Homo-oligomer: A and B are copies of this chain.
Amino acid sequence: MKINYSNPSIQKDITKIKKPNAHGMLFENALNISNEYYLNKGIASIHKKPTPIQVVKVDYPARNKAKIVEAYYKVPSTTDYNGIYRGKYIDYEAKETQNLSFSFKHISNHQIEHLKKIDALGGIAFVIIFYRKINKIYLIDIKVFLKLFINSTNGSAKAIHHRVADDMGIEAVQGYSPPIDYLTAIDKLYFEK
């Protein structure tokens, strides 16, 4: 595994996050560190959106100090990541699977719809999937993803096998810095055609 889990800033971020579902956290943090790297190098500005939280009750134990005492996680209305690269709008959803196939039930319709809209508006929209078992990361453009998804509702596979991802998507290579060099994959998929 080439993702640098011992990086202290990754560890800090992990302990900071207390989501009900910790699944995919290391992958997400590797993406976040990669985005920080790209930002610091002036290559791209891509950020993870904060998790939407519905705040119900706030206390003020001290003046100007708000303490949220009742809140709930909300379903995000868009994707996890967006930003700018090579002057283009970039938007993607990051997914992880422990299986050899990524099941469509792990992505919501409104996320697919959102990516479809971005594509229609001229942006770069894709799903990035980490197949943990084989330690491979693939980008799949939303148009391709959508085709596979629609086929799945017509009796085809209800999931994307990593071999299909390898065939129809493009691999994002893992390394040290950045941990996931997915912009090079974007270059190949969208700019070098």
Contact = CB atoms under 8 A, between A and B. Distances in A.
Most B C-beta atoms less than 10 A away, residue of A17, A18, A69: A18
B84 A123 contact: yes
A89 interface: yes
A114 B68 contact: no
A157 interface: no
A72 B78 contact: no
Interface string A79-94: 0001111111111000
A50 B47 contact: no
Contact of A47 (B54, B57, B60, B77): B77
Contacts of A67: 70-72
Interface in A44-60: 44-45, 47, 49-58, 60
Contacts of A90: 89
Contacts of A122: 84, 86-87
Nearest to A73: B66
Contacts of A76: 50
A45 B121 contact: yes
A47 to B, nearest CB: 6
Given A18-B56, A69-B69, A71-B71, 13 more contacts: A18-B55, A20-B64, A45-B117, A47-B78, A50-B51, A51-B53, A53-B55, A68-B70, A69-B70, A85-B121, A87-B88, A89-B89, A89-B90
15 contacts: A19-B55, A20-B66, A44-B121, A45-B114, A45-B117, A49-B49, A49-B50, A50-B50, A50-B52, A68-B68, A71-B71, A82-B82, A82-B83, A84-B122, A85-B121
